[in-house]
Structure 1
Amino acid sequence: MTLALPTPTEADSALVRTAGWALARHGFVHAYGHCSLRLDARHFLVSPATPLGLVGVDEACSVVGLDGPLPEGVLGEVRIHREIYRRRPEVNGVVRSMPPKAMTLGTLRLTPKPRHGMGSYFAPKPPLWDDPQLLRSDEQAAALAETLGDARAILMRGNGVVTAGTSLKEAVVLTRFLEDACRIELECLTSGLADQGAVLDADEACERATWSGRIMDRMWDYLTRPPTRA
């Protein structure tokens, strides 16, 4: 007996589309990348199998169950989302993206240290998935989710990043924060002074990694505001 899938609300679908447009507009995804939000304990809603910047205003997203095969037409790497949701009940949003600074740092087999405010959210530093291949099997996706553990993000060597948040908004904002942390790390390395630079200790990072003061909401508003037209 096949159980009926939940029907997402228009607000859920609009949020996924909006998140995708923002990720594309700010250069965190291009032809590749996807995002999702949890609908309930056993299902999530994922963006269309279309470049996120090209998703239509009424284009349908796909409901995916945590059990059984991926639905027809859903991208293979959506398995990553599924494995994270299976292991992390507090996660309600996942972003798979290709930010350029993170891509560069990951090819060096490095992840950013918490050197500034945005980097504090990933202290002591994000884990690295040290494999450049596409994740097209359940076994690969499960192994990546295990490597992620309870972290907010993971860098994939030469293959982008995944962020996991308590909401899709948080996962998108964390993508922006992670890219900035990677930028800072690369610039410190380029300067030749990285070993002399400050790194937040555990207490400093814990205190700084706050969402109070509408930190997430202000960044979300910035990322999702449509470009102004002359």
Structure 2
Amino acid sequence: MSTTATEPRPAHLADTATGLPIPGEPYFATYEEARRHRKQRLTAALRLFGKHGFGEGISGHISVRDPEHRDRFWVNPFGISFNRVRVADLICVDSTGRVVSGRHPVNPSAFVIHSQIHALHPDATAAAHGHTPHSRALGALGRLLEPVDQESAAFYGRQALYGDYRGPSVSVAQGRAIAESLGDNLAVLLRHHGLITVGGSLDEAVHWFLTYDSCAQVQLLARAAGTPQTLTHEQALAAREGFGNQQLGRFSFQLLWDEIVAEQPDLLEE
């Protein structure tokens, strides 16, 4: 909702872009405080992936850039279930693929994909990747999300399709190609592979992932039942302004954080 300079903001709207009472981003006095916050959020996000059934063997990873060393990122280690990972299990990897903190090995696919996303996209603080059934089904059809509802409109004009499948992602060149295809978008759908979303915070990137997968399910259901009516261009842009808002994406994760920490407090073990 917009108002002119002479019109007072309605009492029910907060002084934010969406009018929602969303608090500002947290402040940290030291790199260590910021690092601990990011590691805790990353672990919670991994547990949420497990809770949503996004585990597919060794596949799937979420990363967040280190707040101090911007050429390094924290990521879940190879061979530990989403449902069991703790803060203590996380590893920090540098731009060469060397584990500089943590006792577990890195998943080669996690390194080649996430290192290139963080290198090519300085605003991508975090990236989430998984092989979910709905994203894989949508990718197999070679279709991106259509604005069939207001949630999917968050990705209207902000998603890309990567169709050059070359087998498991273990080469830096392939990781770079995927990162390049992402462009300035929130999401890239990998045909025959899965989904990647990014954000200016870990919270945001994971919210976009969960939302994209949910929207993929809605689109598949709607198309299986008939011919869905999509939003018009103007309607999609209006919906994107709200549901694609960065603050909203970040704060939406807060609710999931509260739930998963209450359910699985062991995830915070350091």
Give the TM-score range, shorter chain.
0.7 to 0.9
Residue 189 of structure 1 corresponds to 223
1:151 matched to 2:177: no
Paired amino acid for 2:224: T
Residue number in structure 1 paired with 2:255: 218
Deviations 1:138-178 (A, max 9, x none): 11111111101011111111211111111112111111100
Structure 2 counterpart SS, 1:161: strand
- Unaligned 5+ residue runs, structure 1? 1-5
1:126 Cα deviation from its structure 2 partner: 2.0
Opposite residue 25 of structure 1, the aligned amino acid is K
Q: What is the CA–CA distance in structure 2 between the aligned matches of 1:201 and 1:11, rounded to whole Å?
A: 34
Residue 73 of structure 1 aligns with an amino acid whose one-letter code is P
Deviation sequence 1:114-158 (CA, Å, 0-9, x none)? 222321221125211114421111111111111010111111112
Alpha-carbon offset, residue 226 of structure 1: 2.0
Counterpart residue number, 1:35 = 62
The Cα shift of 1:58 comes to 5.4
Secondary structure in 1 matching 2:47: helix
Checking the alignment, whether the CA contact within 8 Å between 1:114 and 1:123 is kept in structure 2 is yes
Alignment of 1:202 onto 2:231: no
Conserved? CA contact 1:30–1:51, under 8 Å: no
Contact 2:145 2:219 in 1 (8 A): yes
User: What's 1:45 paired with?
Assistant: 74
Q: So what's the TM-score if we normalise by structure 2? A: 0.72
- Secondary structure of the structure 2 residue equivalent to 1:172: helix
Letter in 1 for 2:144: T
Question: Residues 83 and 48 of structure 1: is their aligned pair in 2 closer, same or farther, counting only changes over 3 Å?
Answer: same
SS in 2 for 1:127: strand
Q: List structure 1 runs of 4+ shifted beyond 6 angstroms.
A: none
Distance in structure 1 (CA, Å) of the matches to 2:116 and 2:86: 28
1:3 is matched with none
Matched ranges for 1:70-89 at <5 A: 70-71=98-99, 73-78=105-110, 79-89=112-122
**Count of aligned positions:** 221
Map 1:42-191 onto structure 2 (within 5 A). Answer: 42-57=71-86, 59-66=88-95, 68-71=96-99, 73-78=105-110, 79-124=112-157, 126-132=159-165, 133-191=167-225
Cα pair distance change 1:56/1:41, threshold 3 Å? closer
Give the root-mean-square deviation of aligned CA atoms. Answer: 2.7
| Matching residue's letter, 1:37 | V
> Are 2:199 and 2:205, in contact at CA under 8 Å, matched by a contact in 1?
yes
Q: Aligned pair in 2 of structure 1 residues 80, 225: CA closer, same or farther (>3 Å)?
A: farther
The TM-score, its normalising length taken from structure 1, stands at 0.83
Unaligned runs of 5+ in 2: 1-30, 265-270
Q: Could you say what secondary structure the match of 1:37 adopts?
A: strand
Say if 1:111 and 1:126, in contact at 8 Å, map to a contact too.
yes
Distance 2:242 2:47 in 1: 32
Aligned twin of 2:23: none
Q: Does 1:17 align with 2:43?
A: yes
